[in-house]
Amino acid sequence: MSFLNTPTDLELMKMGLNVHEPTWLLGDNFDIDALNQSLSNTFPQYGAPTNDFVEQQTSQNPVFPNVMDNYCAKNHDLVPEVQRRWYATLPRNVVCYDIPDQLQGRSWVDNGYREGLLLKLQPRPSNAALPSADFLWDRYICREKREVLSLVQAATIGQTFGMLSGDPSDVCMTECFHGTVIAWARQGGLFKSKHVMINSLEDPGLGVDDMWKEWIHKEESIRLLLGLYIQDSEFSVTFHHEPLLRHAPGRIPHCCSDEAFFAPNAAEWYRLVRRDQSISNNGGEADSSMSQPSVSAPGFQQAHMLAYASLANIVGSIQETKASCLDKVAIDQFREALLSWHQVYVGHFPRNQPNYINLMIWWHASFMALYADADLLERSIGRDGREVAEQAKKEIDEWATSSEARKGVLHALLVLKHLEMLPIGSDPAIHVPKAVFYAAMAVYSYIKFMPKTGSCYTPSQDEIAIPELQVSEPVGPSQTGKKQTDASSFPPVESSTLCSAMDLLRRIGHWEISRKLSSILEVLMDDLVVN
Q: For residue 295, name the pLDDT band (cuts at 50, 70, 90).
A: very low
Asked if residue 488 is part of any domain, the answer here is yes
Dihedral angle sign, alpha carbons of residues 465, 312, 476, 444: negative
Per-residue pLDDT at 96? 41
Asked if residue 251 is part of any domain, the answer here is no
Asked if residue 343 is part of any domain, the answer here is no
Neighbouring residues of 66: CB distance < 8 A, sequence distance ≥ 6: none
Nearest to 437 by CA among 79, 87, 163, 173: 87
Contact 520, 85 (CB under 8 A): yes
What distance in Å separates the CA atoms of residue 364 and residue 333, rounded to the nearest whole number? 16
pLDDT > 90 in the chain, percent = 36
pTM for this model (two decimals): 0.75
What distance in Å separates the CA atoms of residue 230 and residue 233, rounded to the nearest whole number? 5
Chain centre to alpha carbon of residue 502:
14
Asked if residue 403 is part of any domain, the answer here is yes
Asked if residue 295 is part of any domain, the answer here is no
Domain span including residue 376: 357-531
What distance in Å separates the CA atoms of residue 338 and residue 174, rounded to the nearest whole number? 29
Give 106-126 pLDDT, tens digit per residue: 556 678 788 888 888 887 776
Per-residue pLDDT at 473? 61
Asked if residue 281 is part of any domain, the answer here is no
Per-residue pLDDT at 58? 45
- Is the model more confident about 424 or about 490? 424
Looking at residue 19, its amino acid is: V
For the chain, the domain total comes to 1
DSSP 125: -
Asked if residue 201 is part of any domain, the answer here is no
Give 124-154 pLDDT, tens digit per residue: 776 666 666 565 555 555 567 788 888 899 9
Model confidence at 424: pLDDT above 50:
yes
CB atoms closer than 10 angstroms to residue 236: 25
Among 37-46, 88-97, 140-149, 324-333, the least confident range: 37-46
Contact 198, 260 (CB under 8 A): no
Burial of 198 (0-12, 13-18, 19+ CB in 10 A): middle
Highest mean pLDDT (candidates 136-145, 199-208, 290-299, 473-482)? 199-208
Neighbouring residues of 246: CB distance < 8 A, sequence distance ≥ 6: none
Among 53-57, 129-133, 366-370, 436-440, the least confident range: 53-57
Contact 237, 247 (CB under 8 A): no
Asked if residue 394 is part of any domain, the answer here is yes
- Is the model more confident about 150 or about 282? 150
Model confidence at 265: pLDDT above 50:
yes
Among 63-72, 210-219, 402-411, the least confident range: 63-72
Among 61-65, 170-174, 400-404, 434-438, the least confident range: 61-65
